[in-house]
Each structure stands twice: as C-alpha cells, then as structure tokens.
Amino acid sequence: MKGRQALGRLGERKAARYLRRRGLRIVTRNWRCPIGEIDLIATDGDCLVFVEVRTSASGYAGGPAYTVGPHKRRKLIQLAQIWLRGARHAPDSIRFDVVAIVRRSWWRFELDWIQGAFEQD
C-alpha cells in the first residue's frame, strides 16, 4: 500500500475509534458501490451518520476538512441514497459528518469532528 493510502487507512481507523469512544456505533467501514465509497457509516442514537474521513500529513491552509467541496458533497449524498435504498429500514434522521485528521508527527494526530458538516439538498 502506498504512503498516502496507508495514511488514509490509518486515519479511518483513528476516526472510527474516536467516534466509538464518543458513543457512536460503527455500522460499516469502507462501503463501496460502483460509483464510489463511504468511509464510515455509523449510528448516533436514532440518527444514521455518513462520515467522510480526510487525513493529511500537513495542516495546509484550511486543513483537510476544506477538501470536501461541493462535488464531493454531492457524491456523498448520492452514495448515501444508494445505501439507504438497500437498507432494511429507514432511519429517523440522517447526518453527514466530516472527520479531519492532521498527522503532526509519527505518533501525534490532531482530529476535528465536524457534525452536520453539510445538508442533503
């Protein structure tokens, strides 16, 4: 696995652990369909949460959360709709979160959890 991919997978593991420690239940990781992937799908009480994890080795202007632009948001909404079509039951509510992680050193990471980062149009 290449360095960037390895960093991304490490970030996803750290994000999942962070969210679990804050009471969310991880439903699935790295859900894929022909048009893309959702990093994490979790429940927060009765709310179904679709989570985009962005990991960076440096804290460039704005940080990794700002790389979730309009195109990526539309794609995540589309992926969530596909996932929901196959779900056994409809959730009470859904939310789109972003977990932005910056690797500050080999062992130190800075994590920012943005709940309700964007709305479904």
61: pLDDT strictly greater than 60? no
Q: DSSP string spanning 64-80?
A: GGGG--HHHHHHHHHHH
| Residue 76 pLDDT exceeds 80 | yes
Structure-model confidence comparison of residues 87 and 64, the more confident one: 87
Tokens 């962005």 -> residue? 54
Q: Where do the H-state alpha helices sit in the chain?
A: 3-21, 70-85
Average pLDDT over the chain, rounded to an integer: 88
Task: For residue 2, give both structure tokens.
Answer: 């290449």
Q: In order of start, what are the domains of the chain with their CATH numbers?
A: 3-118 (3.40.1350.10)
pTM reported for the whole predicted model: 0.89
pLDDT band at 103 (very low <50, low <70, confident <90, very high): confident
Which tokens belong to 53?
């994890």
**Do residues 84 and 105 lie in contact, with contact meaning Cβ atoms separated by under 8 Å?**
no
Q: How many CB atoms lie within 10 A of CB 32?
A: 10
Provide the pLDDT for residue 52. 95
What does the pLDDT read at residue 120? 76
Give the Cα separation of 27 and 39 in Å (integer): 11
Question: Is residue 121 very low, low, confident or very high in pLDDT (cuts 50, 70, 90)?
Answer: low
- Report the alpha-carbon distance of residue 94 to residue 111 in Å, rounded: 22
